[in-house]
Amino acid sequence: AQKVTQAQTEISVVEKEDVTLDCVYETRDTTYYLFWYKQPPSGELVFLIRRNSFDEQNEISGRYSWNFQKSTSSFNFTITASQVVDSAVYFCALRPYNQGGKLIFGQGTELSVKP
Amino acid sequence: GAGVSQSPSNKVTEKGKDVELRCDPISGHTALYWYRQSLGQGLEFLIYFQGNSAPDKSGLPSDRFSAERTGGSVSTLTIQRTQQEDSAVYLCASTSLWGTNTEAFFGQGTRLTVV
């Protein structure tokens, strides 16, 4: 089965706290892509990061960092020193190489950052 | 334009009427996706087009839903005999599957309300 699970439906933190959003995926393909998207209250989905299955190097971009671990089929997303503007729904997605390009999303995690 | 364009942005229709939703993908993108997002919910896959291949229609919820993509570019999602449960935001995305830039870019969606 090809599946993405974001077990955390909602997370609420206070500004400046660090927060990690979990993503676990299932695929039989050895080649695949993983993505994170942000959906702010305005509704438009914004691309954050792409990872292919051959690149397990973790990535940091400003306050954002991603931890990709094939051994546990996880692609977790951490926001350091969260800000109110980080409040949004965050989606993790999987695109298996042999599915012809089908993009499979998790159910999303709603992050609320309070001042 | 530079991004994925969807029209109309909002549509209110009476139950039982047919509606057509339009998506203009990014020029040169061979893959096009339709998703549905009900209020407070995740992204439900509907249909996927890739080049000249047969579309993946596995997500269409009923035979009232259909989609086509003309000339490998513009796509139209048609919902016949609309029902109240069809009310949702319909999102379109496009991508080029191969190469270094493989993330999907989303339009701003069409908010459909069936009254």
Give A40 or B100, the one with higher predicted confidence. A40
Question: Nearest-CA residue of chain A relative to B47?
Answer: A102
Query: Which pLDDT does position A40 carry in this prediction?
Result: 93
Query: How confident is the model at residue A100, as a pLDDT?
Result: 67
CA distance B97 to chain A (A): 7
Residues 39-98 of B with CB under 8 A from A: 41-43, 45, 48, 50, 53, 56, 89, 91, 93, 95, 97
Question: What average pLDDT is seen over chain B?
Answer: 91
Specify the 3-state DSSP secondary structure of A88.
strand
In whole angstroms, give the CA distance from residue B62 to residue B84: 14
Residue B30 reports pLDDT greater than 90: no
Bridge-based pairing of strands A109-114 and A10-14 is parallel
Q: Identify which has the larger pLDDT, A31 or B114.
A: B114
Do the Cβ atoms of B108 and A106 come within 8 Å? no
Q: What is the pLDDT of residue A47?
A: 92
Residue B101 pLDDT > 80, yes or no? no
pLDDT tens track for B40-76: 788 999 999 988 888 999 999 999 999 999 887 999 9
Q: Is the CB of B97 less than 8 angstroms away from the CB of A107?
A: no
Is A44 in CB contact (< 8 Å) with chain B? Answer: yes
The pLDDT, as a whole number, for residue B11 is 98
Instruction: State residue B1's pLDDT score.
Output: 54
Q: In this prediction, what percent of chain A has a pLDDT beyond 70?
A: 98
Residue A45 DSSP class: -
Q: Within chain A, which residues score under 70 in pLDDT?
A: 99-100
